[in-house]
A and B are shown apart, each in its own frame.
Chain A
Amino acid sequence: MSEPSLASVAAKLGSALLDAAWAQWRTLGMGVAGTKQCRSIIDPEALVFASLWLSDTEPRLARVLRMWAADGSRLLSVQRTRNLSPDYSASVNAKLGGFARHAVDKGKDLRWKPLAQGREPAVREAWKVEQASPVLAAPGSLLLRLRVGMGVGIKPDVLAYLLGSAGARRSISAIADATHYYTRAVRRTVEEMVAGRFIDAAATAPASYHVRLEPWAKVLHLPDASPVWVYWHELFALGAALADAASNAGRESRYLQSSRARDVMERHRLAFDLNGVPLAPAVDHPGEEYLVALQSDVVELARRITNNFL
């Protein structure tokens, strides 16, 4: 087997994440052929960013994004989109402007107007306008279902995260890290949800919060194996960052590629940690040896994405 390069590592993860993106759009009824669905909870803002990133190599995603901007943008949180944007490159964020413009023009969703200014269009104007209504029946669309029922905001996202945690207790900081809203806003929201008896508080240190799964499963008609929370944003952001690094590395030596890989993993190791996938300590693999270790870790991550998260 040939020695791994940063490009081969990035391609391995990119391929798994592309399959994940298609499975998620398919689950949301965006007219995507195939059968693979997403069993875990779809993070819609992360899916938009991932599709903007992947649309360079997979132009069909631009078509789906265009449909989603017109028909599904109202289910997205503009604030959360802003919060996630620093984790993606300038080129991805430039494409977000085109998505936002389409959401304003075709989706009549004026919330996106501040993001729609001065950015390049995401898709070629010559493309035929298509329509598709989001389908929210599948368990993976739980977060979007809750937004439909409760309104777009922090509350449905917190509830989705706690439901996806299978009744486990979560601290405020864990909830904020998962949902990518500001900690202060999450704390206020969680306290309101406890007061409203949507969720339960436990007198732990720090305080933790959880949901009773059974009554919620009945209310929401969830299957016995309710969908789990996967940190999709962290996964997609890692994939985009590795792809960028590989692109910038060009024909650099394997040592320099490994150095770039370390840069990426210093910023994005949460993609492994939060999703419970082991990551070899970088210090145990000096110089270019790190590419071999990272490839092994990425192969396992890709396997989990394909077999466990979808």
Chain B
Amino acid sequence: MSPLDIERFLYAIGEQLARVDARYAIVIVGGAALSLQRVVQRTTNDVDVIAIADASTHLIRRPDPLPDVLTGAIARVTRDFNLRPDWMNTVVAQQWRAGLPPGFGDRVEWRTYGGLAVGIASRIDLIFLKLFAVADTRGPDTHHYPDLIALRPSDPELDAAAVWVATQDVSPAWPDTVRKVVEHVRAQSR
């Protein structure tokens, strides 16, 4: 999905919701969020929904399960555009178990697509989550790594992200892994 495709499909969901006088708000991260923020131009296979929010207050909460009406609208768009069944999924919402970066919900940038409000995680939160994703996978041969580089994190931002990422895993080797990734990113960014 290109950035234009993503916007087209999100708007289609919003139209389906508006048709039945429904309004929902979701928060997305990952490649779709990076695309919508114009951080990267690559295509992405899915839209990662990390949270659902109150349509009026934008107070976020865990998204699983998604409300039936929203699920129905997503299913119709999936059918109408012949998309993969899991093109919009909440797998990434497992992050709620270990916790989101502090203040995550306050920094979300909101856009409106008909009856669907889409919150895009802020750049700093995407740095946090991407650093975690890179450290949690083996080596730099992953799309998370170029995504993190594309976010052009500053040294203070990497330091802050590293402090948070270090709390995400209790294994003894984890802090060293995070440190090595941060060093690698710094070296790459220079």
Chain A interfacial positions (CB closer than 8 Å to B): 252-253, 255-256, 258-259, 262, 283, 286-287, 290
Contacts and interface: CB of A to CB of B under 8 A. Distances in A.
For chain B, what secondary structure do more than half of its interface residues adopt (helix, strand, loop), or is it mixed? Answer: helix
B8 A287 contact: yes
Interface in B59-96: 76, 79-82
A255 B79 contact: no
A253 B14 CA distance: 12
B82 A256 contact: no
Contact of B81 (A252, A253, A256, A286): A286
A262 B80 contact: yes
A127 B15 CA distance: 45
Contact of B79 (A252, A256, A262): A262
Interface residues of B, number: 10
Interface of B: 8, 12, 15-16, 19, 76, 79-82
Contacts of A255: 12, 15, 80
B82 A283 contact: yes
Contacts of B80: 255, 258-259, 262, 286-287, 290
Contacts of A286: 80-82
A258 B77 CA distance: 11
B8 A256 contact: no
A256 B8 CA distance: 13
Nearest to A259: B80
B167 to A, nearest CB: 43
Nearest to B114: A253
Contacts of A258: 80
Contact of B76 (A253, A259, A290): A259
B65 to A, nearest CB: 23
A286 B9 CA distance: 11
A287 B19 CA distance: 16
15 contacts: A252-B19, A255-B12, A255-B15, A255-B80, A256-B15, A256-B16, A258-B80, A259-B16, A259-B76, A259-B80, A262-B80, A286-B80, A287-B80, A287-B81, A290-B80
Contacts of B19: 252, 256
A262 B81 CA distance: 11
Contacts of A262: 79-80
A287 B12 contact: yes
A253 B15 contact: yes
Nearest to A284: B82
**Sorted from nearest, which 10 A-B pairs have the closest CB atoms?**
A286-B81, A283-B82, A259-B80, A256-B15, A286-B82, A287-B81, A259-B76, A255-B12, A256-B19, A287-B80
Contacts of B15: 252-253, 255-256
Nearest to A285: B82
A290 B76 CA distance: 14
B83 to A, nearest CB: 9
Nearest to B76: A259
A60 to B, nearest CB: 35
Nearest to B11: A255
Contacts of A287: 8, 12, 80-81
Given A259-B76, A286-B80, 18 more contacts: A252-B15, A252-B19, A253-B15, A255-B80, A256-B15, A256-B16, A258-B80, A259-B16, A259-B80, A262-B79, A262-B80, A283-B82, A286-B82, A287-B8, A287-B12, A287-B80, A287-B81, A290-B80
Contacts of B16: 256, 259
Nearest to A288: B80
A255 B82 CA distance: 14
A265 B15 CA distance: 20
Nearest to A261: B80
Contacts of A252: 15, 19
A261 to B, nearest CB: 10
Nearest to B83: A286
* Best-surrounded residue of B8, B79, B80, B82 (most CB of chain A within 10 A): B80
